[in-house]
Structure 1
Amino acid sequence: MSQEFMKFPSRRSNVYSHRGIVSSTQSLANSAGLEILQKGGNAVDAAIAINAALWVTEPASTGIGGDCFMLYYKLQDKNDPKSGKVIGLNGCGSAAKNITIQDVWDEHNDGLPMPRIPYQSVFSVTVPGSLLGSFNCFEKWGSGKVSFEEILQPAIRLAEEGFPVSELAARSWRNSAEKLKNQNPHVKNNVLLIDGVRGPNEGEYVRNKPIAECLKLIAKEGVKAFYEGPIADKIIETTSKRNHKLSKEDLKNHKSLEVEPIKLNFQDYNVWEIPPNGHGLVALIALGIIQELHNSHKIDLYKLEQNSAEYLHILIEACKLGFHDSDEYVTDPAFKEIPIEALLAPEYLRSRAELINFDKIIDGETMTHGIPNPKYKSDTVYFTVGDSNGEVCSFINSVYEGFGSGILVEEYGFCLHNRGANFNLTPGNSNCLEGGKRPYHTIIPGMITNKDGSLFASFGNMGGFAQPVAHVQHVLNLIIFNYTPQQSLDSPRFVLNSFNEAIDRGRGADGPVRTPITIVQLEDGIKAEDVEKLKKIGHHVEILTDYNRQLVGRGQIIKNSSNNGQLIYSAGSDMRGDGSAVPFV
């Protein structure tokens, strides 16, 4: 993909299939998923194969040292396409049981308070949940026609025999080369670097035999090899050398969580997200606010011009309010009761919608979270797979920043993620660091169902805090503007970011409203006059061009385009990534 392509993208066509379809950021990973579908596996089996292949082919973004989340549209009656139920799995890990905020302050700030864990600190490493999450999905919802060992085989081949690196993966890899060297100065020949010194170029052939051995061990001995056996030993040896308090007990006691997905009815469609500690709640709150503006006749969703200044201002402000609420309410629900139903109630969403002024931006100095009515109780890769049964898996996996913490488990060829950097270090605050707590998590798979219960779309968009913002845009593109999956993915997007020169509030996560000023980053392609209008309203705007456009993340969408009882999928894949949507025949 040339810089000219990034500036002036050619629209790809939708991909259609009646038997099954896969869509991810890496074509080699797509092949892994198709191989499992060919063996009789279902959408879940194929998604796990894609996930494992991505651990190998896109290690700057994902890995076995990271976390995962999944939504699965499962039919209760295989003959009834309206009988589906949306199931969720939280495959993220917790902080070390014995860690304290003071441990971080002592290590990094001479014992004095600081607002957050540094991204490359060993204390940013939490228990990696991706492998167990994948295995639990296989156990609970796999087809039973393929073994877990068979599912891992494509990834093992890629790691052991090698593969040519694609362009954007190579670029991300090279951008993290110094980090990998700095974080592992004792490693003489870092397997993740060419000759131990640099990242690969586009088309360069790489192997990672240590991770091949890691995956072989898991295929032979099961996930216990990772959480209790020799791989666990090396993880703890690696982190203990850096004064972390992560223990073998932390790994052994880790469990995935089957969760009840949360939803919002938006224009007669149900939009589904993973509940906290994931921040899909941000997307649902923003969509709810937008809907209440429509219901109160302050806007007409069906008359707004997509990506006009008025449209963008409404979405930006709604998303900012969602992030302000996430600072208080997105955390580990085992440590704090989270009033999901109240936050998504129309009366609360109306109260938040009333804060939006069409002539100026929200005051970031004074804005904070809302108080819902107590009467109510209640770097990343994304990919999606549809199978011949009409069931669809929406799956996301991440090590967070490029190569996560950058800390290499040398013997097994993978880095540990740094998801713990999303804790704050303000005692008593929601999402503050506590032993055994799951952090605020940015990776969120999405799904939309029709009011009759049938599947409308499976979608997601990697990119850290860009994710709920992108979800809002994809939902509106698909539902309001009737875009095809590829049209939605090709459309210029915006994201929100914090202003690094301003003071960190020390609340919530390291997101767009952690500072009083929120930066609006717009992709090249939005009209110049609309950009100027946003600036006049008060938005701090930056334009993303060329490869910086990847800040808006990379999405994949599968839509149910069935017609006259014939199962038909249509799908798209983001031009900002190396992958594609591929039909199963």
Structure 2
Amino acid sequence: MKNSYKNLIYLLLAIFATWQAWELSRDNTNGAVSSTSKIASDVGIDILQQGGNAFDAIVATGFALAVTSPSNGNIGGGGFLVAHTADGKSVSLDFREKAPRLSYQQMFLNENGDYDRTVALESHKSSGVPGTVNGLLKILNDYGSGKLTLEEILAPAIHYAENGFIVNTTTAYSFNAYRDQFGKDNGTKKIFIKENEWTNGDVIVQKDLANTLRLIAQFGNKGFYEGKIADLIVEEMNKNGGLITKQDLLDYDSVYRAPVVGTYKDYTIVSMGPPSSGGALVIQMLNTLENFDLKSMKRNSTEFVHLLTETQRLAYADRATHLGDPDFWNNPIEMLTSKEYAKERLTLISMNTATPSSEIAHGTWKDKESVETTHYSVMDKKGNVAGITTTLNLSYGNKKVVDGAGFLLNNEMDDFSSKPGVGNAFGLIGFDANAIQPFKRPLSSMTPTIVLNNNNEAILTVGAAGGARIITAVLQILVSILDHGLEIDEAIDTPRTHSQWLPDQIFYEKESLSKKTIQELKELNHTLEPAKYSIARSHGIQLKNGKFITGSDKRGSRDGNQASTY
């Protein structure tokens, strides 16, 4: 017995010594991963330590998030990549979900012609054709280091699905909060409901998901979009009134798009273009704000919040009218992101009074030619930077698991404009540019963004989760870093406000505005409303003086910083 205790002590000392040596070897100069899950972030770091690059790491992190962060990490949804390679090339990949071939414009309207929220958000009809698997595999194939096989990249995700992972406080709280909704679907119930409530330290095992990931590791896209998993998806649809067919799955392909690029002072801003609206709006708003001395304005002062609000209203009015899937709609990106257009719209801003949204029209195009999302980022020491924002739309999508395959379905079809002038789940208004149409990708607010210095080197990557609030959160983080000199962790933690074209309100987080500022904004004819939930949840990485600084939003987390560096 004494020898057993002695051996145990030696083992623990050896483990501690190894951990201590590893901790001391981490000087934050080799790479960084920021995500909503510490497990997934550590998976990415492990890939970097094995000799992989940022693209290998972001793919491994993405698949790990599908296991460890099921409310938003996924293989049943879609997203966007914005990246900057070590050789100076900026790229963006659209792996957004697509409307099935059987979809139609009025599919979420009831017999009275009114928007049916339940059908749009909770039915199998709400699911678009998933793009995440195709997108992640394309990233790996085109930009991965080639040093690691697909099986090695997916091995950690398979391990955590097969053997389980320890549920933290945030995940346990989330599982319990959605217990009633999980109970409505047999496949979901089997995975996410247990006899008692979830608590920190419980272990969740997802055998079916492990088998699905194993098929992807073995057969690539064919392991998901063909064969057994495709059969299970279509069977799930046919049993429950969904629209996705085998041909929809076979036809899916992610698409490289030209990134939206702008300048702000001495920096270059690289972000995602349509069908994401985020990049164009962030650049449009930065172009407007560039005409003001933001450094002289105190953050979240009356003057600062008023200016932000007026700028955001103008941009969101343009979003509602001008932006949609570029395969179906001619987006005036050059106009929206031009310095000249910003100066034209600037004339509509008064610093003395708020402009009612009812009086704000979208800009005239002179033709010259969701809330639950997750963002994760990787930087490596060679200069590769990748940021992905991915989503199921609402938390846990439509709360429907593909029975036998173990993954949740998205409810992205609600991101289309179901009826002109009627808001979606995030209150976003849309018109013809974003109307439902077969094979179309819905407009999104996801805004993965990279900032380059004047040497064309990436110094910052950031993005957020939170539906319509993503865009304004990314904007405020950029301003906090580029104008006010904050580091990314401080910039992410700074309390935020949000406003869009409609509803005509300023939403503000607790402690973001003083009583004096609130009163002064009211005197400028603003309507203010305390935010009922956080104004987005952001993650990002900053390279400063040769070291990586990570930002991992405390909003929505009960478990601290989930990022990793080495």
User: TM above 0.5, one fold?
Assistant: yes
1:240-389 residue pairs with structure 2 within 5 A? 240-280=238-278, 281-291=280-290, 294=291, 299-375=292-368, 377=369, 379-389=372-382
Matched residue, 1:451: 454
Matched residue, 1:67: 78
1:159-308 residue pairs with structure 2 within 5 A? 159-182=161-184, 184=185, 186-187=186-187, 189-195=189-195, 200-280=198-278, 281-291=280-290, 294=291, 299-308=292-301
Summarize the Cα distance change of 1:572–1:112 in structure 2 as closer, same or farther, 3 Å threshold: closer
Question: Among residues 511, 515, 521, which one is paired with 1:534 in the alignment?
Answer: 521
In the TM superposition, residue 462 of structure 1 has moved relative to its aligned partner by 1.4
**CA–CA distance in 2 between the matches of 1:201 and 1:400?**
26
Structure with a larger share of its residues in helix: 2
Matched residue, 1:520: 507
1:541-552 residue pairs with structure 2 within 5 A? 541-544=528-531, 549=533, 551-552=534-535
Matched residue, 2:489: 486
Summarize the Cα distance change of 1:121–1:144 in structure 2 as closer, same or farther, 3 Å threshold: same
1:70-85 residue pairs with structure 2 within 5 A? 70-76=81-87, 84-85=88-89
Matched residue, 1:29: 40
CA contact (8 A) 1:348 1:373 kept: no
**CA–CA distance in 2 between the matches of 1:438 and 1:73?**
24
CA contact (8 A) 1:176 1:402 kept: no
SS of 1:88 mapped into structure 2: strand
Matched residue, 2:129: 127
**CA–CA distance in 2 between the matches of 1:174 and 1:142?**
38
Equivalent residue letter for 2:482: I
SS of 1:558 mapped into structure 2: strand
Matched residue, 2:544: 561
CA contact (8 A) 1:518 1:540 kept: yes
Paired positions, count: 524
**CA–CA distance in 1 between the matches of 2:458 and 2:197?**
41
**CA–CA distance in 1 between the matches of 2:226 and 2:374?**
27
**CA–CA distance in 1 between the matches of 2:407 and 2:312?**
35
CA contact (8 A) 1:52 1:152 kept: yes
In the TM superposition, residue 54 of structure 1 has moved relative to its aligned partner by 0.9
Equivalent residue letter for 2:115: M
Question: Among residues 56, 61, 73, which one is paired with 1:45 in the alignment?
Answer: 56
CA deviation map 1:501-540 (0-9, x unaligned): xxxxxxxxxxx43x45335233324322112222222322
Aligned-residue Cα RMSD (Å) equals 2.0
**CA–CA distance in 2 between the matches of 1:190 and 1:531?**
48
CA contact (8 A) 1:100 1:435 kept: yes
Is 2:101 aligned against 1:101?
Answer: no
Matched residue, 1:397: 390
Matched residue, 1:505: none
Which blocks of at least 5 consecutive residues in structure 2 are unaligned?
Answer: 1-25, 421-430
In the TM superposition, residue 200 of structure 1 has moved relative to its aligned partner by 2.5
SS of 1:231 mapped into structure 2: helix
In the TM superposition, residue 123 of structure 1 has moved relative to its aligned partner by 2.4
Question: Among residues 540, 547, 562, which one is paired with 1:580 in the alignment?
Answer: 562
**CA–CA distance in 2 between the matches of 1:199 and 1:152?**
30
What TM-score do you get using the length of structure 2 for normalisation?
Answer: 0.88
**CA–CA distance in 1 between the matches of 2:352 and 2:116?**
34
Equivalent residue letter for 2:526: H
CA contact (8 A) 2:505 2:529 kept: no
SS of 2:316 mapped into structure 1: helix
**CA–CA distance in 1 between the matches of 2:201 and 2:313?**
40
Is 2:156 aligned against 1:154?
Answer: yes
**CA–CA distance in 2 between the matches of 1:206 and 1:516?**
40
Which blocks of at least 5 consecutive residues in structure 1 are unaligned?
Answer: 1-14, 77-83, 497-511
Summarize the Cα distance change of 1:524–1:170 in structure 2 as closer, same or farther, 3 Å threshold: farther
Equivalent residue letter for 2:102: N
CA contact (8 A) 1:461 1:554 kept: yes
In the TM superposition, residue 177 of structure 1 has moved relative to its aligned partner by 2.0
How many percent of aligned residue pairs carry the same amino acid?
Answer: 29
Of the structure 1 ranges 348-357 and 39-48, higher mean CA displacement relative to structure 2 is found in 348-357
**CA–CA distance in 2 between the matches of 1:181 and 1:540?**
39
**CA–CA distance in 2 between the matches of 1:40 and 1:199?**
41
Matched residue, 2:5: none
**CA–CA distance in 2 between the matches of 1:273 and 1:188?**
35
CA deviation map 1:406-435 (0-9, x unaligned): 121121111101111011124771100011
